[in-house]
């Protein structure tokens, strides 16, 4: 099954892969729900997203690799078993299915979903600008339907963000969200809140900021790939209505991050990360997650 991570795959194959992986586990809509011996819904939740942006294919492979590794290593690694017994994992490898299909079949550089809108021939909303958290503020998104960062006419007017927000709210009410990571590409950045304002920062000695640095360093240790950590707005640019700000500020998760995977920011290959780097990228993400799982037991 690990040969799965040597190539990119079509959407239908991803659905099939998840079904195989989840065979012994109850499924949640659009994702996979993993837990240990205490059963489901007992422990704090850990949530991962992949491919909110259609062209960022590596993020789906990474989310799947984490699910795969949690299941396959829990038999041999006491730390992983302990993590599965202590947390409920909700993994959504393809947040933007119709966008991914479009990127794979029509236009490689497509970013948004494929939602049509009356009055314009332009298609799609940016699913990471559509969350109801300072939506549309501070120039962190576009009001133009033709733009790549189009936020929509209202917060949560994309079916994908609306459904995910409802699911995350349920999870949060039931068990609380301990850790959230929205995997993206590219730039090799571990970003913590806030995205919506560069003037707002986490309190000094924030565990959320500290853990971002731990994640970046643990990812570097696997294959020597440098990841930078910091505030989303400062590392990249202002992003209003994004998932990590919503999960952190509205849902009150302890730790919420957006991670930009390989390649680095100045790398010409950009979104076209070659297939022979899927495995190493997935391994370094998993190395980072494993380190975090060990830490958040204690902090």
Cα separation, 204 vs 165, whole angstroms: 29
Cα separation, 268 vs 189, whole angstroms: 17
Q: Is the peptide bond before 73 cis (omega within 30 degrees of 0)?
A: no
Q: Residue 126 Cβ, how far from Zn ion at the closest point, in Å?
A: 9
Tell me how many degrees the CA angle 228-296-293 measures, rounded to the nearest 5: 75
Give the single-character DSSP code of 6: G
Is-contact 196 133, C-beta < 8 A?
yes
Active site residue 260: yes
Q: What are the structure tokens assigned to 105, written together?
A: 């079949």
Measured in Å, how far apart are the chain's first and last C-alpha atoms?
Answer: 34
Cα separation, 180 vs 49, whole angstroms: 8
Q: Which residues pair with 230 in a beta bridge?
A: 191
Q: Residue 190 Cβ, how far from Zn ion at the closest point, in Å?
A: 14
Q: Residue 56 Cβ, how far from Zn ion at the closest point, in Å?
A: 5
Q: What is the DSSP string of 212-255?
A: HHHHHHHHHHHH----EEEEHHHHT---TT-HHHIIIIIS--SE
Sign of CA dihedral 147, 148, 153, 155: negative
Is-contact 142 252, C-beta < 8 A?
no
Kindly list the residues in this chain that would bind Zn ion in the complex (CB under 5 A): 53, 56, 184
Question: Taking Cα atoms as reference points, which of 137, 286, 170, 166 lies closest to residue 221?
Answer: 286
Q: Residue 14 Cβ, how far from Zn ion at the closest point, in Å?
A: 18
Task: Closer to Zn ion by CB, 125 or 291: give it.
Answer: 125
Q: Which residues pair with 184 in a beta bridge?
A: 260
* Catalytic member of 56, 64, 214, 260: 260
Catalytic residues, by residue number, are: 260
């Amino acid at each position: 099954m690990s040969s799965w991570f040597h190539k990119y795959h079509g959407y239908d194959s991803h659905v099939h892969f998840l079904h195989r992986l989840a065979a012994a586990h109850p499924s949640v809509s659009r994702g996979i729900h993993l837990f240990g011996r205490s059963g489901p819904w007992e422990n704090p939740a850990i949530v991962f997203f992949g491919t909110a942006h259609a062209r960022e294919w590596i993020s789906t492979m990474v989310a799947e690799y984490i699910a795969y590794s949690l299941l396959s290593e829990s038999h041999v690694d006491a730390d992983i078993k302990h993590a599965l017994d202590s947390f409920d994992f909700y993994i959504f490898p393809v947040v933007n299915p119709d966008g991914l299909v479009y990127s794979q079949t029509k236009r490689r550089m497509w970013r948004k979903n494929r939602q049509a809108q009356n009055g314009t021939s332009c298609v799609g909303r940016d699913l990471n600008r559509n969350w109801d958290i300072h939506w549309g503020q501070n120039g962190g998104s576009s009001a133009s339907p033709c733009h790549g960062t189009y936020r929509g006419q209202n917060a949560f007017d994309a079916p994908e963000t609306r459904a995910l927000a409802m699911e995350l709210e349920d999870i949060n009410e039931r068990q609380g969200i301990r850790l959230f990571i929205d995997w993206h590409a590219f730039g090799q950045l571990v970003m913590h809140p806030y995205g919506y304002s560069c003037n707002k920062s986490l309190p000094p000695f924030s565990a959320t900021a500290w853990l971002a640095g731990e994640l970046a360093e643990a990812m570097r240790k696997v294959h020597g790939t440098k990841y930078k950590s910091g505030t989303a707005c400062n590392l990249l640019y202002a992003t209003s209505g994004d998932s990590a700000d919503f999960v952190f500020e509205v849902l009150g998760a302890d730790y919420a991050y957006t991670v930009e995977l390989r390649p680095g920011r100045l790398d010409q290959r950009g979104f076209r990360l070659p297939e022979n780097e899927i495995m190493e990228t997935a391994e370094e993400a998993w190395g980072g997650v494993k380190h975090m799982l060990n830490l958040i037991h204690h902090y």
